[in-house]
Amino acid sequence: MRVAVQEQPFDFGAEAAAFAAGRHDMGAVVTFTGIVRDTAGDLAAMEIEHYPGMTAKALEKIAAEASTRWSLGDVLVIHRYGRMVPGEMIMMVATAAPHRVDAFEAAEFLMDYLKSRAPFWKKEIGADGAEWVAAKDADEDALTRW
Amino acid sequence: MDVLYFAWVRERIGIPKETVETQASTVTELVAELIAREDRYAAAFADISALRVALDQELSDFDASLTGVREVAFFPPMTGG
């Protein structure tokens, strides 16, 4: 299990390849990548604030919880903070499991919890100023399925 | 104890962190003390249901006891991922 909280970009291909390499007992690797999205066409940047003392601990707790709920060989979580432009990768998770159902479900669980239980806050910087991204009820509701 | 603010809570109060001397026994009591101080706190804590709290870097709730707590953080619902 590895958790990284960092400002600098990560190399998704290299991370995914390294994560998948060398395990002969894992039949499935699932990866998810979150990317800065410019829905309205006027997003200049996204700034992500976090709680330095808490973030890594919160991510480790979520990753550990996934490892107890599903049969996993490994878990990787990388989440960035700071300023990013549209198209940049914000974060990724990867799960390795003997079977795909465990890898898929654990990756979805990780994403649902990262959305609402990891101390990150997104701010969108647009042409007309800056605005904090509001949490969606649907994101909170998603936790009830686990 | 140290009190930390993040995202728009930090912006409304105007500082990311401060040390507070308090006799408050719960988070709710601490919030009431802060609101009584200045308008900017009242503005930040106007709607408690829109806020989350962490005690010593663990998510908690507003009814929780502050006994032994060294760090309280207030912030809006998180938007990670």
pLDDT tens-digit map of A51-100: 999 999 999 999 999 999 999 999 999 999 999 999 999 999 999 999 99
**Given CB atoms, is B12 within the 8 Å cutoff of chain A?**
no
Give me chain A's average pLDDT, please: 96
Per-residue confidence (pLDDT) for residue B60, from 0 to 100: 97
Looking at residue A39, its pLDDT comes to: 87
At residue A127, the pLDDT reads 86
B6·A132 Cβ contact <8 A = no
**Residue pair A94/A29 in contact by the 8 Å Cβ criterion:** yes
Domain borders along chain B are 2-75
CATH for B2-75 (3.40.50.620, 3.10.20.30, 3.40.50.920, 3.30.1360.170): 3.10.20.30
Count of structural domains, chain A: 1
Is the four-CA dihedral B31, B37, B42, B43 of positive or negative sign? negative
Contacts of A47 (CB under 8 A, 6+ apart): A82, A83, A84, A122, A123, A125, A130
Tokens standing for residue B12 = 């409304």
> CB distance from B64 to chain A under 8 Å?
no
Confidence check on the interface: ipTM exceeds 0.90, yes or no: yes
Using CA coordinates, name the residue in chain A closest to B54.
A54
Give the separation between CA B57 and CA B70, rounded to whole angstroms: 10
Using a CB-CB distance cutoff of 8 angstroms, which residues of chain A are in contact with residue B54? 51, 54, 119
Determine the residue of chain A that is closest to B4 in CA distance: A51
For residue A70, what is the domain's CATH number? 3.90.1170.40
Please state, for a pLDDT cut of 70, what percent of chain A lies above it: 100
For A75, the domain range is: 2-145
Mean pLDDT of B17-36: 97
CA distance B7 to chain A (A): 6
